[in-house]
């Protein structure tokens, strides 16, 4: 801590030793002893011809130097002070601060003399944050742990002005922009391709009891909803590549294409005569299931022949035609066959548990309590009310294949972001 004392206009010290200490003044007027001085007095003035400071008689006029050279005067006088009383022959140096500050003992070097000197015109204003005190004001300041000895010195007309308060400095606050983004989660359906469906015909309708996958799909799980051929079902069991539905899926009539006027020949796998022109070119494709009299269950189209105009001319089946059960063992003319594309299906990533609960990896999909859910089969206003591990509870039952969750960053009248 820096220690200072604001002195009276004239203070004369014959001999004083100061030690740096907390809250102890360096100079005290009650310790000062005044007596007439028999010393010769000189002052330091600027010599423009020689460009230097020189010592002259006290009563000789001189032109002061600019404030920018006040420090130079102090340094020059320090050299004079270094001679000591014996060498200077009792002369007294007038150290003119010229409106500048003093020095600190114990922090760097202090070039001011400590004996046979008169200090005047020192002015120091304490720095901001110096606790409201004078900071480095005055002539000498003794830092904690340092010491200073003064002998036959006088202080006249020095001033100290306290610094600004040392409280927390002013903080300028400017506007700032913070971007807040809604948290979202997209729970989409899983699509399985290159599947082989087990199709049956009953009372004019086609049903699917299950499918065989080309490869096992770890995203599929028992209890997941399935959409295929315009119909829906629920996965009952999964064993390797075989997926069985809990109840047969009924194919929607809009997904079924009818091929009329077909001529079927027992034991063959090719149908070359049929009303192919009655169907769009895209209605006949490889992999489609074909159902009808004389067609074994599970038969699919393995290839399609087309002419230069891309019109279908014949199809090849995965299994030979079997007319043994039709009463026409050799050939059937004018047969009506049903074609349906069941080569893929969609399944939800979650399993329905009932009671407005679904099972899915909630954390991995980014779901949070309070999310608003939207999507096909999701009632308006549905939100997530609870998450317990992989079990998510919603305010309404979800019957669709997927949904999107959104967690707003704020609500009108709310206090949570």
Question: In this predicted structure, what is the pLDDT of residue 24?
Answer: 37
| Dist. CA 140–CA 154, nearest whole Å | 12
| Dist. CA 194–CA 345, nearest whole Å | 9
Tokens of 398: 């979800």
Set out the domains of the chain in order of their start, with CATH numbers: 2-161 (no CATH), 187-251+345-407 (no CATH), 253-340 (2.40.30)
- Strands (E) across 355-394 are located at 357-359, 372-374, 384-388, 391-394
Question: In this predicted structure, what is the pLDDT of residue 195?
Answer: 92
Question: In this predicted structure, what is the pLDDT of residue 4?
Answer: 42
Contact 38, 90 (CB under 8 A): yes
Show pLDDT as tens, one digit a residue, over the chain (417 residues). Answer: 444 444 445 555 455 555 544 433 334 333 333 444 444 555 555 454 554 555 555 555 554 444 444 443 444 444 444 444 334 445 578 888 888 777 777 777 777 888 888 888 887 776 554 443 333 446 777 777 777 787 888 878 777 776 665 555 566 667 777 666 788 999 999 999 989 999 998 888 999 999 999 998 888 989 999 999 999 999 999 999 999 999 999 999 999 999 999 999 999 999 999 999 999 999 999 999 999 999 999 999 999 999 999 999 999 999 999 998 888 778 999 999 999 999 999 999 999 999 999 999 999 999 999 999 999 999 999 999 999 999 999 999 999 999 999 987 765 555 555
Contact 3, 141 (CB under 8 A): yes
pTM recorded for the entire structure: 0.53
| Dist. CA 21–CA 25, nearest whole Å | 8
Contact 405, 394 (CB under 8 A): no
Question: Can you give 130-196 as a three-state secondary structure string?
Answer: CCCCCCCCCCEEEECCCEEEEEEEEEECCEEECCCCCCCCCCCCCCCCCCCCCEEEEECCEEECCCE
Question: If you count DSSP H runs as helices and E runs as strands, how many of each does the chain have, helices first?
Answer: 3, 30
């Amino acid at each position: 801590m820096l220690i200072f004392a604001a002195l009276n206009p004239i203070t004369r010290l014959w001999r004083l030793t100061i030690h740096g200490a907390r809250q102890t003044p360096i100079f005290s007027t009650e310790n000062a002893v005044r007596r007439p001085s028999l010393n010769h007095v000189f002052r330091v003035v600027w010599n423009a011809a020689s460009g230097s400071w020189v010592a002259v008689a006290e009563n000789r006029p001189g032109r002061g130097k600019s404030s920018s050279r006040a420090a130079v005067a102090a340094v020059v006088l320090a050299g004079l002070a270094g001679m000591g009383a014996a060498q200077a022959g009792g002369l007294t140096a007038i150290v003119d601060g010229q409106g500048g500050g003093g020095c600190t003992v114990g922090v760097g070097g202090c070039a001011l003399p400590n004996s046979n000197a008169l200090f005047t015109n020192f002015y120091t204003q304490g720095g901001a944050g110096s606790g409201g005190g004078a900071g480095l004001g005055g002539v000498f300041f003794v830092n904690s742990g340092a010491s200073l000895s003064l002998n036959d010195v006088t202080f006249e007309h020095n001033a100290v002005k306290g610094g600004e308060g040392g409280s927390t400095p002013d903080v300028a606050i400017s506007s700032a922009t913070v971007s807040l983004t809604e948290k979202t989660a997209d729970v989409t359906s899983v699509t399985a391709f290159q599947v082989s469906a087990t199709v049956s015909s009953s009372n004019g309708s086609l049903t699917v009891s299950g499918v065989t996958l080309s490869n096992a799909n770890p995203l599929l799980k028992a209890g997941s909803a399935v959409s295929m051929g315009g119909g829906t079902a629920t996965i009952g069991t999964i064993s390797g590549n075989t997926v069985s539905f809990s109840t047969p899926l009924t194919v929607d009539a809009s997904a079924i294409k009818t091929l009329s006027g077909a001529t079927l020949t027992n034991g063959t796998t090719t149908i070359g005569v049929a009303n192919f022109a009655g169907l769009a070119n895209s209605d006949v494709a490889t992999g489609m299931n074909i159902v009808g009299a004389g067609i074994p269950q599970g038969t699919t189209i393995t290839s399609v022949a087309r002419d230069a105009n891309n019109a279908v001319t014949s199809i090849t089946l995965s299994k030979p035609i079997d007319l043994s059960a039709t009463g026409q063992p050799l050939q059937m003319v004018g047969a009506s066959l049903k074609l349906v594309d069941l080569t893929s299906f969609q399944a939800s990533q979650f399993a329905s548990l009932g009671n407005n609960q679904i099972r899915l990896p909630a954390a991995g999909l980014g779901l949070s309590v309070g999310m608003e859910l939207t999507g096909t089969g999701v009632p308006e206003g549905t939100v997530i009310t609870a998450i317990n591990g992989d079990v998510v509870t919603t305010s309404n039952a979800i019957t669709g294949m997927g949904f999107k969750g959104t967690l707003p960053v704020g609500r009108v009248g709310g206090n949570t972001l």
